[in-house]
């Protein structure tokens, strides 16, 4: 499949089941809502080393937030519910409770419950107050600035983690520029996050390593500098590869995000240095979700 000079390789991204939740963070200004959102989702690129994967889903206008203030939706994913129930209240307590003017609300209904105020209320040292608002239990926790308002808990969903595309480019500069364009398009798809820095990961990995205890290691087949020393999957004209990893609340959301990214890359075309689009997989033996590139673009 060749689209605007770009080869869509006959490959698929192999993804895994994860458990996810959404939080709505608000503040007096959009600036401070985003600061809290970026802080709470920091160091959350991969469950391998961070314990969770998280990121900003989208900005939310005042008309759509529970308290009528500017807001940001964030998503978190872990491998199991217990992990989610641990990392979410810990991160909110350290990064949202502490952030000026912030509040934190449930962004999901249904599914197993994940604590927000249920755990954080104890910071109030007995001065905290619970209120029922439209059937929701809200906590008001006193802080030096005034008070921190949060929902008692949020819901969860069975999500998908590890969707991806690989951008094979003619030069490092062109490949990064193309990846930035793809990220911009993909971030418009609701229900997905791109957890790595700026949505991009330059150090795509393979499963396992020659070294004991390493769960993942450099994906040598896609490293341009190793083309002459390993079984490379790169044609001679490719000088750089960037990966975009996708986590989403459903298979459909990740598929839509994948398509948005590929469409943006195809629009750039071969003239902008996009040689081919590939995906990372493990032979289909590890993850039950397979995002077949050519089917997505058919």
Per-residue pLDDT band for 281 (boundaries 50, 70, 90) equals: very high
Tell me which of 3.20.20.70, 3.30.70.520, 3.40.50.2000, 3.30.1020.10 is the CATH number of domain 19-157: 3.30.70.520
Please report, for the chain, how many H helices and E strands are present, in that order: 7, 18
| Mean pLDDT score of the chain | 96
Can you tell me whether residue 208 is helix, strand or coil? coil
Output the pLDDT for position 51. 94
- CA 254/CA 162 separation, integer angstroms: 9
Residues 152-177 have pLDDT tens digits of 999 999 999 999 999 999 999 999 99
**Domain ranges, ordered by start, for the chain:** 2-14+159-297, 19-157
pLDDT for residue 256 is more than 90: yes
Residues 63-75 have pLDDT tens digits of 999 999 999 999 9
Question: Do 2-14+159-297 and 19-157 show the same overall fold?
Answer: yes
Q: Which CATH class is domain 2-14+159-297?
A: alpha beta
Strands (E), 135-225: 136-143, 146-151, 153-154, 157-169, 192-193, 205-207, 216-218
């Amino acid at each position: 499949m060749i689209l605007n000079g770009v080869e869509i390789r006959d490959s698929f991204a192999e993804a895994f089941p994860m458990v996810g939740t959404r939080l709505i963070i608000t503040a007096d200004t959009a600036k401070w809502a985003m600061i809290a959102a970026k802080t709470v989702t920091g160091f959350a690129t991969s469950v391998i080393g961070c314990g969770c994967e998280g990121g900003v889903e989208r900005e939310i206008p005042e008309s759509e937030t529970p308290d009528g203030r500017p807001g940001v939706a964030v998503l978190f994913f872990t491998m199991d519910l217990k992990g989610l129930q641990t990392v979410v209240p810990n991160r909110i307590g350290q990064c949202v409770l502490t952030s000026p003017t912030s509040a934190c609300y449930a962004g999901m209904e249904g599914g197993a419950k994940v604590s927000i105020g249920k755990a954080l209320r104890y910071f109030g040292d007995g001065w905290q107050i619970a209120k029922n608002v439209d059937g929701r239990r809200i906590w008001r926790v006193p802080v030096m600035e005034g008070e921190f308002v949060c929902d008692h808990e949020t819901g969860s969903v069975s999500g998908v983690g590890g969707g991806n595309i690989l951008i094979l480019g003619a030069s490092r500069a062109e490949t990064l520029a193309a990846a930035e364009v793809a990220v911009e398009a993909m971030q418009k798809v609701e229900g997905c996050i791109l957890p790595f820095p700026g949505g991009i990961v330059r150090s795509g990995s393979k499963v396992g390593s020659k070294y004991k205890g390493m769960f993942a290691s450099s994906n040598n087949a896609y490293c341009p500098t190793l083309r002459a020393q390993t079984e490379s999957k790169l044609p001679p004209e490719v000088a750089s590869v960037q990966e975009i990893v996708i986590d989403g609340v459903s298979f459909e959301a990740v598929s839509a995000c994948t398509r948005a990214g590929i469409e943006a890359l195809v629009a750039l075309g071969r003239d902008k240095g996009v040689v081919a689009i590939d995906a990372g997989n493990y032979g289909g033996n590890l993850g039950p979700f397979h995002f077949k590139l050519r089917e997505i673009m058919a």
